[in-house]
Structure formats: C-alpha cells, structure tokens
Amino acid sequence: MVTTAAKPRAGTGSGTLYRRIWRWHFYAGLFVLPFILILSVTGTIYLFKPQIDRWQERSYQALPTDNAVSPDQQLASALTTFPTGRLNAYRLPQRAGDAAMITLVFANGDKLDVFVSPQGQLLGARDPASKISETVAKIHGTLLLGKWGDWLVELAASWTIVLILSGLYLWLPRPFSAAGTLWPRLSLKGRPLLKDIHRVTGFWIAGFVLVMLASGLPWAGAWGSAFKWARTELGLVEGRQEWKIGTAASEPQHDHHAEGMPMPMNMLPASIPAGLTLSAFVAKAQVEHLAFPALVIPPHAPQRFGPPTGDVWTAKSEAQNRPLGREVTYDPETGAETGRSGFADKHVVDRIVNTGIAWHEGQLFGLANQLMGLITAILLVAISGLGVAMWLKRRPQGAVGAPPVQGSLSKRWPIAVIIVLGALLPLFGLSLAVILTLEAVLRVLRKNFKARIAGR
C-alpha cells in the first residue's frame, strides 16, 4: 500500500507516531514496488502450474490404449534408448491414454523425464528443468540471481509484511466512519477518490497478502534456515523436512544429486532391482488411488529431500495439495507392505507449514484457491499502482515527497513492535539496522557541516 506525503484525513491522527509510521510505509512501498510486480506476475502464473504442466505435455495425452504393454516393457523401451540411465521414478498416467513418465538418473547426477506410450513407444524426453513452471519458479524464488536473488526476494517479502502492517495502522478510522473505511466514497474525485480506493482495497486484501507472504517464508534462505535449525537442532520436530530452502526451493522437483558433480555408481538404483519387478509395484500403487502426480520409486533412488530411499519400493503422491500426500513402502522380494504414512501422521508444525505451502501455490482447494490467489495478486498490483499515482500527483518537483517527521516519540510500544518484527524477520531487522545507522551517520555529518558553515 504505497501512500503519499499528503496530509492525513481529519481525525485520523496527525501526531509524531502517525507520521513516522506513514513515512516508513511510504519508503517501504517505494522499495517493494518492483518486487511486488515481478512476484505477483510470476506467482500468478505458478498458481496454474497443474494446467500449465498438462498443456506442456499435451503431445503425450489421449493416446490409444489398445495393445498396451506392461510398465516393465515401457521401462525397457526407455532404457534401450538411454542405456546408461537407471530408473529413478515411474509416474503413473493421470488419465487413461496418457503416456507414462519414467525419470532416469545418470552417473553424473543428471535426470531425464522420458515419456513412453501405452504401447511402449518412446515419444519424447526432456530435462526436468525445461518445464515452464520450473522456469517461472526460479524467477519467483531467486529472480535468476541465485542466492543473492533469494535474499532480495525474502527482503522484499519482509518489507511487504511491514508495509501491510503499517498500512493497517494508517487505515484505522479515527473516529470510525464506514464510508472511506469499509467502502470507498465514490462521490469523491481525483486524488481523494484514489486514496479511498487504495485504503479500502488494502484493508480487504491485507489478510490474504499476509497469509501469502508468511506461507512463503519457510522456503526463504535466511528465514527458512533459521526455522530448519529450530525444527531440527532444538528437537522440536522429528523426521525429515519436506520442503526446500533458499535457491534449492526453485530447482526442479526432480532434483539433481549435485549439479555438475558425478554420482558414484553405487549410489544409483539398479535398473531392475532384485525381486518383484516394476509392474508389480505399479499395480499396487494403482490400487491406492494416490493423488497425481503418483510415483513408484525403486530402492536406493535419489530423492527430492534427504537421502536416497532404503531397501524398499515406494509408492507416493507428490500432489501440491499436500494434505492429500500419502506414502506406502513395500518389501522388494515379497511385495508385502512395510510402511504407510499420510498427512495426519506428520507433526502439527509440518502440517501447518505444508497447508500454508498448498495455499501459497493455489492448490489447497482447487480452482477456487487459484482464483483467490489471482484476485489477491491483481488487487495488490492495483493498489500499488494507485499509491504511485497519488505520489506522482502530490510529489513536489525535485523532491521525493516523503511525509515529514517532527518531534520525538512519546510512546514506547512501536519500538517493541519493531524489535519483535526484526527478530521474526531477520533480513528486515538487519536492513533496518543498516538504514538507521546510515541515517545517524548522515545526521552527524550534516550537523558538523552546518557547524563549519556557521563558524566561517
């Protein structure tokens, strides 16, 4: 919610605290504006990842199902073309007539998605990183700038949280008036009307934006690393973490072992593990009715998170709607079930985080979730644009036009709030400390300069 240096509405409070919060809201808005535009556009595109992925695989869908062969024969077809590969995962077709996607892993750590028709014909192959949705995820998570981009995105997200919270403080009606607070006064014209629309719209979407931002923090480099440390080192949660952190969060879902680093052959899964074959475990996975994408994974296959799988076959769902996720493991010799876990079996902390991630990605409750995310992004961009328009209308020529501040704070609670926010949002706290230090240094230099001028 980018505001301007105009005088506050009568009755809204014109004291030092109000103007200080207004000033920080103003500067935060100017800083985060370009990030809001980039992240809103890329985030909106990523909301529709399932539709985009299916469209990109359209050539491998609605195929004839006559004379279908077994998954073992489909795997053999893939390995005939790529003999140095090893089975890493078999993705069950989403619908009858869709090709199976067989992910192969190679000794250098690279992975390849191979599409095989129901009749066992190899239709095509791709690098998992070539997916449109993966490219969008990289832009959204790192701005294609690696770790520095990840930190910039987290910094922008942190300041956007401050922007929303400060905007809510400025929105508080003093005294209460529904018009101009809960709905805009359409009788107004020009800048006053723009300000009403900015304030009211900001209020109505504030909760959605805060949830969207907070649910993305577990992926962020600094915040996510601190959370992971608290989760594991303090013993708060047992079991592996099922989401990535920092630059790894924007890598393809089927990860490289270590990009550019060779993978020892003894770390690769066998192409046809001893015991029952792929077909037997695909049949077991089909009975489970796992949410798409449903994978069948051989023993010792490299995984998205943590070490490779153990001495078991695994059938699992990697659905973005994470509450639908389930995993079943089987003995490779007998096919007997050896383990089963689902969303309800996770620690409450992991359930909360995974639910937030599903919401963030627009997959918690289908199309409605996607549309809510889309509307939120559009309105966030719109009120940011309105803020800029108001600023340009009011900005004095040759000046930034930030709200002036006079006097000193008489209340201490804002300082406590800033300390808490700085602790909860480490990059915000660090950047704020840098800004305040620079301000103090400039203030001293300005004072010394004036003193020298006066002494001449």
What pLDDT, in 10s, does the model give residues 278-313? 999 999 999 999 999 999 999 988 766 566 778 899
Residue 123, token pair as written in the block? 């239709």
Instruction: Tell whether 24 is covered by a domain.
Output: no
Instruction: Tell whether 444 is covered by a domain.
Output: yes
Gap between the Cα atoms of 171 and 165, Å rounded: 10
Least confident of 21-25, 184-188, 240-244: 240-244
pLDDT-based confidence at 10, cuts 50/70/90?
A: very low
Model pLDDT, residue 397 = 77
What's the alpha-carbon Rg for the chain, to the nearest Å? 27
Domains of the chain: total: 1
Model pLDDT, residue 456 = 64
Beta strand pairing call for 122-126 and 111-116:
antiparallel
Instruction: Tell whether 332 is covered by a domain.
Output: no
Gap between the Cα atoms of 228 and 245, Å rounded: 9
Contact call for residues 99 and 60 (beta carbons, < 8 A): yes
Instruction: Tell whether 55 is covered by a domain.
Output: no
Residue with tokens 């051989």: 298
Does the pLDDT value for residue 254 go beyond 50? no
Instruction: Tell whether 207 is covered by a domain.
Output: no
Residue 261, token pair as written in the block? 């680093």
Other CB atoms within a 10 A radius of the CB of residue 439 amount to 10
Instruction: Tell whether 441 is covered by a domain.
Output: yes
Residue 184, token pair as written in the block? 């805009």
Q: Which domain holds residue 423?
A: 413-456
User: Is residue 86 within a helix (H) or strand (E), and if so which, with residue range?
Assistant: strand 86-91
Instruction: Tell whether 451 is covered by a domain.
Output: yes
Q: Which residues of 256-275 are buried (b: 16+ CB within 10 A; e: fewer)?
A: bbeeeeebeeebbbebebee
Contact call for residues 293 and 287 (beta carbons, < 8 A): no
Least confident of 80-84, 93-97, 210-214, 224-228: 224-228
φ, ψ for residue 166, nearest 5 deg: -65, -35
Per mean pLDDT, which of 240-244, 313-317, 347-351, 435-439 is the most reliable?
313-317
What pLDDT, in 10s, does the model give residues 432-446? 999 889 888 988 888
Is pLDDT larger for residue 200 or for residue 449? 200
